[in-house]
Amino acid sequence: MSARIPTEFDAFVRAYEDDENFHYRRYVEAPSFFEALGDITGQSVLDLGCGAGLYTRRLAQRGAARVVGLDISPNMIDYARAREAEEPRGIQYVLDDASNAGRLGPFDVVTGVYVLPYAQTLEKLRAMCRGAHDALRPGGRFITVVVNPEAHFARKDFYRKYGFTLVPLRPEHAGLEHLPDGAPVRLVSYILDKRIDVTPYCWSHETLTSVLKEVGFSQVRWRAVEVSPEGSAAFGLDYWRDILESPPAVPLACVK
């Protein structure tokens, strides 16, 4: 098990839990992810980068037979374990790096909502992808969400009406529509008084697809982003038009 080293995510436990007020996550991110995931009834699932366990608990609620959450943040894991103690769902939480996920398998499904974007180098990206691959049984699926390489990075306020901003971190990347591989971006979301400020990294379609196939995935499919019927009813389709044309993140579905 990894040592308890603080991470940039430790301060954001409460904010990650607030699904009610973060409309993008509630009406776009989550529906798109679960559409890509499909039916997991009776299956074993490993949730990489599980954080506070928001999606991990939903995996259990959707009928998975075995659910394990893994994260590198001590505070996130502590919080997720506390929630499990309060509302037992049979979920096991493990403090470790995604690159070590193979030791926990095999699983039918591995998920990872915003785990690959925290690979700062190509070597780390490859290690994370290999960890997901090694944790799967033959024919198993890896469903992940990554920063969209074609997101609208050039305008600082493009996503602001949805409750967050996503902009290049380095001055030399300001105003670029397409960022180079491994470019850091700053994601800042404002959920009432609970602010999230993190630095993911952007990797191109070509690099992500190539690395995933290199570590052994036979299929890599980029999935569409959608708005739930509830989101359309609550805000109208015109409200979501920008985010559908240039989503900040997209799901990937891979098969071992």
Question: What does the pLDDT read at residue 175?
Answer: 87
Domain that holds residue 21: 10-149+203-255
Question: What is the distance between the alpha carbons of residues 142 and 31, in angstroms, rounded to a whole number?
Answer: 17
Residue 191 belongs to some domain of the structure? no
Residue 55 belongs to some domain of the structure? yes
Low-confidence ranges of the chain (pLDDT < 50): 1-11
- CA-based angle 116:148:14, to the nearest 5? 60
Residue 37 belongs to some domain of the structure? yes
Residue 183 belongs to some domain of the structure? no
Question: What does the pLDDT read at residue 6?
Answer: 42
pTM for the full predicted model: 0.91
Residue 127 belongs to some domain of the structure? yes
Give the total number of structural domains in the chain. 1
Question: What does the pLDDT read at residue 180?
Answer: 96
- Spatial strand order of the sheet with 107-113 comes to 91-95, 66-71, 44-48, 107-113, 136-147, 249-255, 219-222
Question: What does the pLDDT read at residue 196?
Answer: 79
Lookup: tokens for 181: 């591989």
Residue 164 belongs to some domain of the structure? no
Residue 74 sits in a domain whose CATH number is: 3.40.50.150
Residue 45 belongs to some domain of the structure? yes
